[in-house]
Amino acid sequence: MTETKGVALVTGGSRGIGAGICLALARAGFDIAYTYVTASGPTAEQVQALGRQAVAIHGDVTSGPDRETVVAETIRQFGRLDVLVNNAGVAPKVRADILDADEDSYDRVMTTNLKGPYFLTQRVAREMVAWRQAGDAGFKCIVNVSSISAYTASVSRGDYCLSKAGIAMATALWAARLAEFGINVYEVRPGVIATDMTAGVKEKYDTLIGEGLTPIRRWGQPADVGQAVVACATGQLPFSTGEVINVDGGFHLRTL
């Protein structure tokens, strides 16, 4: 096994975009810790098959004690933590018009998608700052995975849109706060990505993409998002922080 380029902690790494990020980082030379809630999935074995170390940690980002356990276990296993990828998120269980949406859905989505990453970032950032102050000069960064829903109004998923808009501001806040310590913060903003979360709307988006919803007329893949995270994690954007990296097939261009 070659020397590691670093250790990355990816939340929600058992499937979908999170698994794609884990595998892309492993191919780039990172050892991987990832969180899961219900099932760890095959990600650890897939990472190990790529010649990297991997550990799956049961932990819910909405829980303060779980967040503490996840960080402590990552450091116990690897002795370091260089990259945090806030990927874990949920969609509303029911797509409800904002005139009818209920508070339980709002609380579930906002707590998972915004509060959890915000305070996990705080916990990891404190560790990274302490390492910096102790003389660690290695590249460190935090990557938030958001969505085109950060700026695209979907009136049947208001809570989800608000949570992703909040992630955009959280990225700016942490980028401003951590720059003095040489810790860069990025937002990777996926568009329509083929995962189990979007499986239920596949036919709809097959049609929309074919009609030109995105200039690049195909579904995005988890590996596409993973490659963007790798660019951040490997220090290829050293003079950028708070930057938004669109992985959306050009959706954001708003072409006529």
CA distance 86 to 157: 21
* Residue 232 to residue 219: CA distance in whole angstroms: 22
Q: Identify the active-site residue in 40, 146, 149, 163.
A: 146
Q: Of the listed 105, 140, 163, 164, which one is catalytic?
A: 164
Q: Distance between CA atoms of 87 and 247, rounded to whole angstroms?
A: 14
Could you confirm whether 164 is annotated as catalytic? yes
Q: Give the tokens for residue 198.
A: 């979007």
Strand partners, 54: 32
| Catalytic residue chosen out of the listed positions 118, 160, 163, 186 | 160
Q: State yes or no: is 147 an active-site residue.
A: yes
Task: Clarify whether 202 is annotated catalytic.
Answer: no
| Encoded tokens for 111 | 């707590």
Q: For the chain, how are helix, strand and coil distributed in percent, rounded to 5?
A: 45, 15, 35
CB atoms within 10 A of CB 202: 12
The closest of 64, 92, 201 to 156, measured between CA atoms, is: 92
Judge whether 160 counts as a catalytic residue: yes
Q: Catalytic: which of 40, 105, 147, 163?
A: 147
Q: What residues act catalytically? A: 146-147, 160, 164
